[in-house]
Chains A and B, each alone.
Chain A
Amino acid sequence: MTMTMRLDDRLLEFLRRPLMCIIAGVDQTGRPSAGRGVGFNVLEDRTTIDLIFSGWQWPRLVSDIRQTGRLAVTFVSPADYVSFQLKGRADLSETEVPNADHAARFITAATDELQRLGVAPHVIAPWLTAQGARLARLSIQEIYIQTPGPHAGMMTGAEVR
């Protein structure tokens, strides 16, 4: 039976920090793909999250989500490496236009934070683009602590049923 996990208050608080976002898909042969997210929006039920990424920059992610719908996303706070990974089933929305405001806010916050940590702007620029933005709606089935250290890999979040 498939579980559904709900983002608890602590995770929602974490998601308000300046973050980096990395996304993995997998194709039908089991080959994984990797890309970067540039925005997100937690839906009202807290069990679903919309992820925005550049389909222009990460075309394999687009085709993998279409092929298998399996998706993992890790959010990391660059200042202290606190990280969480969400896994589940995703649908690529063919109709909804990603919310440009979400992406713009995410990119600005991440860029400012990385610059504050000493990364040069010209180095950051290639990573964060909303060109050809796509929206993947993830139904969260698993949540893991991903912060390097003894708790890495432990499950967290609240089970819905």
Chain B
Amino acid sequence: MSLRLSDLSACFEGVIPSIIATASADGAPNISYLSHVVRVDGEHVALSNQFFAKTAANVRANPKVTLMLVDGLTGDQFLLDISFVRSIDAGPLFDRIAGQLAASSAQVGMSDVMRLRSADVFRVRGIEKVPSPVAATAPAPRRAPVDLPALADAIRAIGRQAEAGAIIDSLLCGVQQVLGYANALVLIHDSHRQSLITTGSIGYENSGLGSEIVSAGGMIGAAAASGQTIKVSDMSRVRRFGEAIGLEAGATENTTRTVVFPQLPMAMSQIAVPMVTRGVVAGVLFIESTERLAFSEEDAAALDILAGQAANALRASEGEAAAAEAGHATATPEPAATETDIRIVCHRFDDSVFVDGVYIVKGVAGALLRLMIEWRLGEGRSEFTNREMRLAAGARMPEIKDNLETRLLLLRRRLDEKQAPIRVVRIGRGRVRLEAGGPLALTVRD
């Protein structure tokens, strides 16, 4: 049976370097390692070749090229007879290669020297497997195929949800049940803070809810900026991009107003999948595993489908919440005077909020909490609509027209996680209630 490119998916992970042999017009061979090979389609591969002018000159003078690919799971080797088609330096394919190169060069510790200027596209004319001296041993375990009926169930489950929290929980549940990955995060894009904020989390000792990744930073930022899935398949030689392990999350939060990003010790594979709806990146689904080469092409495709469904559902949820009419506001009885005041401190410069000295949240979510507290204290009511919050805060934070629900979700989850004496409870479509266990004492600082 002849081999197809799709049979070689574990060769395109960037874990084991590929090798390219070329020959000049006068027949002098040349051989070098390649930083990255990308499967374009069933008949073409693209190579990034930043350094070796001789290789580039040879393929233009003599299009006959031999490529050696190595399966990152088994070590099996393949020789590909390929011929040069064209060079590209812009467009979607170039962007895809540049994104994958950025991630895979990080995993071999060469991100500083890898800058893609152009990529060469080749037609694959033949593939042969190199004889292996260990072929007689038992076959190495292969990755299981994606369970499509389970994926369909997960897609339907996400589609049934109307509320942001349930949508994100359904997405994470799908990741766990369909693909079996136990450590995953959902980060929502926040253009106000130029960051991605962790809004959903499974499998980590510290949930990391409220932790931020700068939009331009690391593979999560790169996935959001490019709209491309980015994965790292072998981190054995990579320093993790996260913050230092060992920080006591709770203790530092109160002084730094920064939630520590969750860590999976011994992570070997990571994947960042943009959550795209109508061409806009709403957030990033991030998953990691202690296995090398954990994420197959099929896994990436399934995650792309799940993430897209969640992004669409979140967008619909924002629209429905925005359209909801205001209900009848009920007066809030002030808690008995004997109860201890709940001290709330808000800082204008970053919209951070502390409750009884405990850091809760900052940015848009912090501004919304302050708004609700001011309304409660000034107007004696505790039920609010998304619409009035959008009107009140929208002038300063125009992006909340698209993501108020996810900001409220982050606020609710942080208050719950910190066991704060105030809570924000969703009481209907586009409506929330601020509940407090005592009288509120608000201090606003610059």
Pick from A56, A58, A70, A85: contact of B32, CB under 8 Å:
A85
Beta-carbon contacts of A111-127 to B below 8 Å, as 1s and 0s?
Answer: 00000011110111111
A29 touches B64 (CB 8 A): yes
Contacts of A29 in B (CB 8 A): 64
A30 touches B35 (CB 8 A): no
- Looking at the complex, which of B130-138, B216-224, B250-258, B274-282 is the stretch in contact with chain A? B130-138
A118 touches B237 (CB 8 A): yes
Q: For the complex, would chain A's binding face be called helix, strand, loop or mixed by DSSP majority? A: mixed
In the bound assembly, the distance between CA atoms of A117 and B237 in angstroms comes to 7
Q: Least Cβ distance of B3 to chain A in Å?
A: 16
Residues of A20-35 at the interface with B, using a CB-CB cut-off of 8 Å, are 22-26, 29-34
Q: Which residue, A34, A74, A81, A148, has most C-beta atoms of chain B within 10 A? A: A34
Contacts of B54 in A (CB 8 A): 144, 153
Contacts of B134 in A (CB 8 A): 122, 125-126
> Does A68 sit at the interface, judged by CB under 8 A?
yes
Pick from A81, A125, A148: contact of B133, CB under 8 Å:
A125
In the bound assembly, the distance between CA atoms of A8 and B25 in angstroms comes to 30
Say whether, besides A34-B66, A123-B72, A153-B52, A72 and B131 are in contact (CB < 8 Å).
Answer: no
Contacts of B198 in A (CB 8 A): none
> Does B369 sit at the interface, judged by CB under 8 A?
no
Q: Number of B residues whose C-beta is below 8 Å from A?
A: 48
> Does B76 sit at the interface, judged by CB under 8 A?
yes
In the bound assembly, the distance between CA atoms of A87 and B368 in angstroms comes to 69
Say whether, besides A57-B133, A126-B133, A127-B75, A34 and B16 are in contact (CB < 8 Å).
Answer: no
A-B contact pairs, 29 of them (CB 8 A): A24-B22, A24-B30, A24-B31, A30-B25, A30-B62, A31-B23, A31-B66, A31-B81, A34-B79, A70-B23, A72-B21, A72-B30, A74-B31, A74-B33, A81-B110, A85-B30, A85-B31, A87-B28, A87-B29, A119-B16, A122-B74, A122-B140, A123-B72, A124-B75, A126-B74, A126-B134, A127-B75, A152-B52, A153-B52
9 new A-B contacts at CB < 8 Å, known A60-B79, A87-B29, A126-B134: A22-B33, A24-B21, A26-B23, A29-B64, A30-B23, A70-B23, A72-B28, A144-B54, A149-B51
Binding site for B on A (CB under 8 A): 22-26, 29-34, 56-58, 60, 68, 70-74, 76, 81, 83, 85, 87, 117-120, 122-127, 129, 131, 144, 146, 148-149, 152-153
